[in-house]
A and B are shown apart, each in its own frame.
Chain A
């Protein structure tokens, strides 16, 4: 594990000591090299996972998420080159350092053996993200977006800290492996209900659950492109990952306590998808679509069946790549017209045919077209929800329909039709941008062939 963490940490001196014209290429190339090291963790040979040391443990659930984190850093760097180029060199290096610190904190988060270590790193990832959103966002609303982001997450996670400390004192250890073997049964009592809520609320807010999702559209819209990418792709999945890890100690109370959250997820799925149909802001549409997909993941984790966990892990990875791709595409729009309004730049298929291909593929994977991995995730979750209760098919089916509607709406509004006549300043697609999209699409396509890497630990 150190062979992944120490190179990631060493990217920091690399940024600060590189000469100004070599910073981007150095950091991007070296972060790609770290990817080759991390791919070895995907080789999960047995169901017990890789117990690497006393602090780090990678099981098939963590390995796909760690791979996503490490894959995303060079992509974030590629995406940020344009909007950062006007800043001073010191600011450029500071921005890159924030991204590197975020990755260095996220890798141990997903491989932490102890839940307390996981919690500390979970909280620590908030700081670089807050700095990225509030310092390098584009509109004045970024300040309130940062506040919402920080305080929504903190309100949930302080009770989590107290819950973890109390479980530690009663069980003796918070080791994730030992917890699976312990006999910690939560009986029906008021304090156990509050303990369940305290454990789960932090991750529900992070995912986000429909009732407490208000921070997400603000944070995603106001963040710069790398901030949006890391938020949509990884930080939301921290919630799912935490819920999956903690659910081993929260039985059997989950059977009764999960109902309100399953209701909120199922209804919230439809509500947020419907809001997507009425959005005028492109990034806001993609942000609400993230809420909708993650509501499926929450519902799947709450019902705790093998297939639903497989679907949840698959959907987390698939959605991470797809959402990040859509945000990058929206950013290519924004860099040209400096506005996020969808109807301002229409008919882009005529102007940017190759980028239109990536818009097309991104929208298709967003609406969970077979045989993409998004479909695998959504299908497994739908089937397991159907076996939980037959009536969920009404809600999940409606959501699949509305997801298809807004994905195609976004595609048709931006790509099809006649080009807006007065848009004469549209620079052609940079090779960097096309590379970025290709690097998103390649894992999405290759994982279609062998999705067992992303199916999580109940495979």
Chain B
């Protein structure tokens, strides 16, 4: 139906099946969709060939998974280029919290120490520390 009651919301986008513009796509988007679908179909065919092979003894090796795991773990630094912005960000993120928490704890403990030395802190029940 052209006039669906479903309205998209910020966290719930319109699914493609309810989008009446699904069938009015331009030629380029259609070509891109066909290309993606053909890659998917080829990969699925390879997977199914291996999955249903009666002589298969081990699990199916997914090259994409291996590349993804490698990229996430070992291949980050070679693709990193230090720029002023991300160097500054690194220094702020690395040392900023440390300095912040140092001042929080130092002021808190100095305040407590001053209270103790003035005798104003009630430590009657402080048995275990």
Contacts and interface: CB of A to CB of B under 8 A. Distances in A.
Interface of A: 141, 259-260, 262-264, 266-267, 280-281, 284, 305-307, 337, 339, 341, 343-344, 383-384, 387-392, 395, 420-425
Contact of A341 (B65, B102, B108, B109): B65
23 contacts: A141-B74, A259-B102, A259-B106, A262-B105, A263-B102, A267-B97, A281-B73, A305-B129, A307-B129, A341-B65, A341-B69, A383-B128, A387-B129, A389-B105, A389-B109, A389-B112, A390-B108, A391-B108, A392-B105, A395-B101, A420-B59, A422-B50, A423-B59
Main secondary structure of the interface of A (DSSP, over half): helix
Q: Which 9 A-B pairs have the closest CB atoms?
A: A422-B60, A387-B129, A425-B58, A341-B69, A305-B129, A423-B59, A263-B98, A389-B105, A389-B108
Contacts of A391: 101, 104-105, 108
Interface of B: 47, 50-51, 56-60, 65-66, 68-69, 72-74, 97-98, 101-102, 104-106, 108-109, 112, 126, 128-129
Contact of B126 (A263, A387, A424): A387
Highest count of chain B CB atoms <10 Å: which of A263, A280, A395: A263
Given A280-B69, A422-B47, 14 more contacts: A259-B106, A260-B102, A263-B98, A263-B101, A280-B73, A281-B69, A307-B128, A387-B126, A389-B105, A391-B101, A422-B59, A423-B59, A425-B57, A425-B58
Contact of B105 (A263, A344, A384, A423): A263
A267 B101 contact: yes
B98 A424 contact: no
A367 to B, nearest CB: 24
Contacts of A263: 98, 101-102, 105
Contacts of A423: 59
A16 to B, nearest CB: 36
Nearest to A281: B73
A72 B69 CA distance: 32
Contacts of B128: 306-307, 383
Given A305-B129, A422-B51, A280 B102 contact: no
Contacts of A305: 129
A267 B102 CA distance: 10
A337 B72 contact: no
A383 B50 CA distance: 56
B55 to A, nearest CB: 12
A286 to B, nearest CB: 14
A326 to B, nearest CB: 19
A96 B97 CA distance: 45
Nearest to A308: B129
Nearest to B104: A391
A279 to B, nearest CB: 8
B89 to A, nearest CB: 15
A365 to B, nearest CB: 25
B102 A421 contact: no
B129 A424 contact: no
A424 B105 contact: no
Given A141-B74, A267-B98, A425 B59 contact: yes
B101 A284 contact: no
Contacts of A259: 102, 105-106
A425 B50 CA distance: 14
A421 B59 CA distance: 9
B83 to A, nearest CB: 22
